[in-house]
Structure 1
Amino acid sequence: MHNAPIEYGKPPVEAKVKWASLGGFLGSVGLLAVLQAVDADHSLIAWWPDWAEAVTIPLLPTAIGAVAGWKAKHTARPDLPVNKR
């Protein structure tokens, strides 16, 4: 009487997610390297207000991750019906 539920294949991790994660990781590593180099000379960031440092520093990895995710292509799911793609 009732149709059995449709089972779809296990969805792959999308390329967008992989690239955004890699971009966030590399951005964080790069930012930490810069901050360690700057640690010897605090005058490079001392002129920023404390609130600006707290907001601006995390923006670099976030921006890199967002751009990497935006630029990566969507992973196609040919196993899904047309109306679910």
Structure 2
Amino acid sequence: MTTNAPIEAKVRSATAASFVVSLLIAVLNAVAGDSRLLAPLPSWLQAVVIALIPAALTFLAGWQAPHTARSGEPPAGPPASR
């Protein structure tokens, strides 16, 4: 596993989508619901926590997911010995 591998588009897209949906849910919860679960935190921090945790988990899951090889692309892994 390389440590300097670029972040794939699928990971960036999944993270962005998760963040937007989580932020929407946080706003709806603040406007229409009762947020007792995170009551010890200030309201602005509740929104940040609700929005960032799912995005971070989505990013980690996408990062750990294996890359799907495309046609014409060499298989991932160490180079073969000759």
Name the TM tier (shorter chain).
Answer: 0.3 to 0.5
* TM-score normalised over the length of structure 2: 0.44
* TM-score normalised over the length of structure 1: 0.43
Q: Higher relative contact order by CA 8 Å / sep ≥ 6: 1 or 2?
A: 1
